[in-house]
A and B are shown apart, each in its own frame.
Chain A
Amino acid sequence: MSLLSVKDLQTHFIFHDIDNQLREARALNKINLSLDAGQILGIVGETGAGKSLTAQSICGLLRPPARIVGGSVVFDGRELLTLPEEELNNIRGADIAMVVQNPRSSLDPLTRIGEQLVRIHQTHTSGPLDGSRQKAMEMMQAVGIPDPQRRFTAWPHELSGGMAQRVLIAMALMNEPKLLIADEPTTGLDVTVQAQILDLLKELVARFDMASMIITHDLGIVAHYCDQVAVMFAGEIVEQGTLRDVFLQPAHPYTQQLLASTPERLKLGAETPLGGQPPDLFNLPVGCLSQDRCPLATDICRTSPPMVNLSIDHSARCHFANPNNKTAKSKGKKNG
Chain B
Amino acid sequence: MADVILQAKNLVKRFPAGRSGSFVNAVNGVDLTIRRGEVLGMVGESGSGKSTIGRTILRLTNPTEGQISFDGKDITKLADKAVRPLRKDMQMVFQDPWSALNPRMKIGDLIAEPLRIHLNMSRSECRDRTEMLARRVGLSTNFLNRTPSALSGGQLQRVCIARAIATNPKLIVLDEPTSSLDLSVRAGILELLQELRAKTEAGFLFISHDLGTIKLISDRIAVLYLGRIVEEVPKYKLFSEPSHPYSQSLLSAHLPSDPNVPLQRMALQGEIPSPINPPSGCSFHTRCPVAVAECKRIQPLPEKISADHLARCLRLKDGKNIIPRDQK
Report the nearest B residue to A262, measured CB to CB. Answer: B257
Q: Knowing A191-B250, A194-B253 touch, does A217 contact B183 (C-beta < 8 A)? A: yes
B253-278 with Cβ < 8 A to chain A: 253-260, 263, 265, 267-268, 271-272
Task: Flag whether A269 is at the interface (Cβ < 8 A).
Answer: yes
Instruction: Find residues 291-326 in chain B having any chain A CB closer than 8 Å to their own CB.
Output: none
Question: Counting CB contacts under 8 A, is A64 at the interface?
Answer: no
Q: Does the CB pair B255–A218 fall under 8 Å?
A: yes
Bound Cα distance from A224 to B182, whole angstroms: 20
Q: Would you give the 0/1 interface string for A152-190, flagging 1 where the beta carbon is closer than 8 Å to chain B?
A: 000000001111000000000000000000000000001
A160 to B271, alpha carbons, bound, how many Å? 8
Assembly CA distance A268 to B255 (angstroms) = 20
Min Cβ gap B259→A in Å is 4
Name the distance in Å between B276's Cβ and chain A's nearest Cβ: 12
Q: Does A23 contact B (CB under 8 A)?
A: no
Q: Does A295 contact B (CB under 8 A)?
A: no
Instruction: Select the stretch in A50-58, A112-120, A253-261, A318-326 that faces chain B.
Output: A253-261
Determine if A219 and B257 form an interchain contact, defined as CB atoms under 8 angstroms apart: yes
| A213 at interface, CB cutoff 8 A | no
Residue on A nearest B45 in the bound complex, by CB: A190
Q: How many residues of A contact B (CB 8 A)?
A: 45
Point out the residues of chain A lying under 8 angstroms from B183, CB to CB.
Answer: 46, 217, 219, 258, 261-262
A336-B154 contact given A192-B249, A220-B254, CB 8 Å threshold = yes
- Whether the Cβ atoms of B191 and A247 lie closer than 8 Å is no
Known contacts A191-B209, A266-B216, A272-B191, A220 near B256 by CB under 8 Å: yes
Binds B, one of A30-38, A78-86, A87-95, A273-281: A273-281
Is there contact, CB below 8 Å, between A273 and B255? no
Residue in A46, A264, A334 whose beta carbon sits within 8 Å of that of B256 in the complex = A264
Residues of B within 8 A of A268 (CB): 190-191, 194, 216-217
B131 within 8 A of A: no
**Bound CA span A273–B272, Å:** 37
Is the CB of A207 closer than 8 A to any CB of chain B?
Answer: no
Does chain A have a CB within 8 A of B138? yes
Residue of A nearest to B209 (CB): A191
- Report A-chain residues with C-beta under 8 Å of the C-beta of B258: 223, 247-248, 264
B32 touches A (CB below 8 Å): no
Residues on B with beta carbons closer than 8 Å to the beta carbon of A192: 45, 249-250, 253, 268, 271-272
Q: Which of B187, B255, B268 contacts A220 (CB 8 A)?
A: B255
Contacts of B194 in A (CB 8 A): 268-269
CB of B212 closer than 8 Å to a CB of A: yes
Near B by CB (< 8 A), chain A positions 271-312 give 272-275, 277
Shortest CB distance B237–A (Å): 18
| B265 CB, nearest partner CB in chain A, Å | 6
- Contacting residues of chain B (108-156) with chain A, CB-CB under 8 angstroms: 138, 151-155
Q: Which residues of B contact A160 (CB under 8 A)?
A: 271
Question: Contacting B271 at CB < 8 Å: which of A190, A221, A262?
Answer: A190
Please, how many angstroms separate the alpha-carbon atoms of A157 and B31 in the complex? 34
Q: Tell me, yes or no, whether A243 is within 8 Å of chain B by CB.
A: yes
A69 within 8 A of B: no
Instruction: Annotate B186-201 by CB proximity to A: 1 below 8 A, 0 otherwise.
Output: 1110110010000000
Across the interface, A247 reaches (CB within 8 A) one of B154, B187, B210, B259, namely B259
B327 contacts the other chain (Cβ, under 8 Å)? no
Chain A residues in 8 Å Cβ range of B255: 195, 218, 220-221, 223-224
C-alpha spacing A282/B275, complex, angstroms: 47
Cβ of B184 < 8 Å from any Cβ of A? yes
**Contact residues in B for A223 (Cβ distance below 8 Å):** 255-259
B13 to chain A, nearest CB (A): 20
Contact: A258 with B184, CB < 8 Å?
Answer: yes
Nearest CB on B from A279, distance (A): 12
CB distance from A31 to the nearest CB of B (A): 21
B52 at the interface (CB under 8 A from A): no
Q: Are B253 and A191 in contact (CB under 8 A)?
A: yes
Distance between B16 CB and nearest chain A CB, rounded to angstroms = 19
Residues A263 and B216 in contact in the complex (CB < 8 Å), given A219-B257, A220-B254, A275-B185: yes
Whether B76 sits at the interface, judged by CB under 8 Å, is no
> Chain B residues with Cβ under 8 A from A266's Cβ?
187, 190, 216
**Complex CA–CA separation, A224 to B264 (angstroms):** 12
7 closest Cβ pairs, A-B complex: A220-B255, A263-B212, A275-B184, A219-B257, A46-B182, A190-B45, A335-B188
A interface residues (Cβ-Cβ under 8 A, vs B): 46-47, 160-163, 190-196, 199, 217-224, 243-244, 247-248, 257-259, 261-266, 268-269, 272-275, 277, 334-336
- Give 17 pairs: A residue, B residue, CB < 8 Å, sorted on A: A163-B271, A191-B45, A192-B250, A193-B272, A220-B255, A247-B259, A248-B260, A261-B186, A261-B187, A262-B183, A264-B256, A264-B258, A265-B257, A274-B184, A275-B185, A275-B188, A335-B184
